[in-house]
Amino acid sequence: MYFAFKQMLYLTPILLVFLLIVFVVAFRKRRKRLELFLDKKLIPSMVDPNTFKLKRLKALFLFLSFVFFFLALSRPQWGAKLEKVTRKGLDIIVAVDTSLSMAAEDFSPNRLEKAKHEISSLIDILKGDRIGILTFAGTSFMQCPLTMDYDAAKMYLDLVNFNSIPVPGTAIAKAIKTAIKSFNQKELKHKVLILITDGEDHVGKPVEEAQNAKKEGIVIYTIGIGSTSGEPIPVRDENGNLNGYKKDRQGNVVMSRLDETTLEKIALTTGGKYYHASSGELELKKIYEDIGKMEKKKLKSSMLNKYQDKFDWFLIPGLIFLLLEMFLPERTLRRKK
């Protein structure tokens, strides 16, 4: 026998003991109230002994009904049979920018940690899709290949940091190119790329690479993280202490600004959408709702043991005992001849 709702099964003994205590206390109070009006010697002559037996029997029926109801709530199951289960979904690669500009603190604690939190939230709402994590800066690398193991994906996500890509810069075009190669190139649909970056790319042509992605059937959604007004990039030591802010060759503090225009063009080129990162992370839910309408492919078939619910085997006896308790009379009175 298998119980689907084991929490209720573990709670049942505690509830039954509590119920038993309530019954005992209630019987004692009734006895004391009766003794307030009648002398102990008169009780046997005024109240039929069967009355006490009936009350105990009613309490027993009520107790047994609760026993069966609690067991029914635990969802007992048995009679397992093999069923073929087919999982359908999409291939989703999330490309996250790990360049130094993502250290800007217009999101707490910084842009990169904000992006990682958004990816983690996305993984939590996936339903049968494969997820991959790509990191990029001056070059790009598949941190986590496409997988249906969401726990493993989160483990790889935890390893993402500013040292994930040793080459400085922000090469969005290279990230898109790496994503194209990481998808199944024999398919021309079921592929989604979510790009999370501040959009500052000075080394490539990301819009042109987005056109190549469109030819491969990839839909790109972009999430711009950061402020358009600009934010300084903190420079910290190994212990995380602030040493100042990044400066250019002229000694001016470098301001990292979100390039929304480029990100909008990338998304629109492939039929996707651009979103500005928000504290509530509503953009991820909107993206997943949007891609949820896309045609899904068969990802995996497996044989699973499926148990049959048998809660009615406990529910029916519980109802019978409850009805017996309801229709059993409260007491009988001894009449004088």
Ordered by where they begin, the domains of the chain are: 2-75+311-327 (no CATH), 86-300 (3.40.50.410)
Q: Which of 266, 219, 223 is nearest to 90 (CA)?
A: 219
pLDDT of residue 302: 54
Rounded to 5 degrees, φ, ψ at 310 are -130, 30
pLDDT of residue 336: 46
Could you give the CA distance from residue 16 to residue 64 in angstroms, rounded to a whole number?
Answer: 10
The model's pLDDT over 49-87, given as tens digits with 9 standing for 90+, comes to 666 677 788 888 888 998 898 888 888 877 666 666 567
Pairing relation of β-strands 91-97 and 130-136?
parallel
pLDDT of residue 50: 65
pLDDT of residue 161: 93
52: left (phi over 0), alpha (psi -120 to 50) or beta: alpha
Q: Which of 32, 33, 35, 55 is nearest to 44 (CA)?
A: 35
pLDDT of residue 256: 85
User: Mean pLDDT, the chain, as a whole number?
Assistant: 85
Could you give the CA distance from residue 169 to residue 166 in angstroms, rounded to a whole number?
Answer: 10
The model's pLDDT over 133-159, given as tens digits with 9 standing for 90+, comes to 999 999 999 999 999 899 999 999 999
pLDDT of residue 39: 60
Cα 200–chain centre separation: 32
pLDDT of residue 333: 46
Beta pairing partners, 84: 303
pLDDT of residue 233: 86
All residue ranges of the chain with pLDDT < 50 are: 333-337
**Lookup: tokens for 203:** 């080394």
Could you give the CA distance from residue 323 to residue 271 in angstroms, rounded to a whole number?
Answer: 63
Please count the other Cβ atoms lying within 10 Å of the Cβ belonging to residue 209.
22
pLDDT of residue 282: 81
Beta pairing partners, 218: 191
Instruction: Report pTM.
Output: 0.66
Spatial CB neighbours of 253, under 8 Å, sequence gap ≥ 6: 232, 245, 246, 247
Pairing relation of β-strands 130-136 and 234-236?
unpaired
pLDDT of residue 320: 92
- Helices 49-73 and 312-327, packing angle to 10 deg: 160
Q: Which amino acid is at 231?
A: E
DSSP 33: H
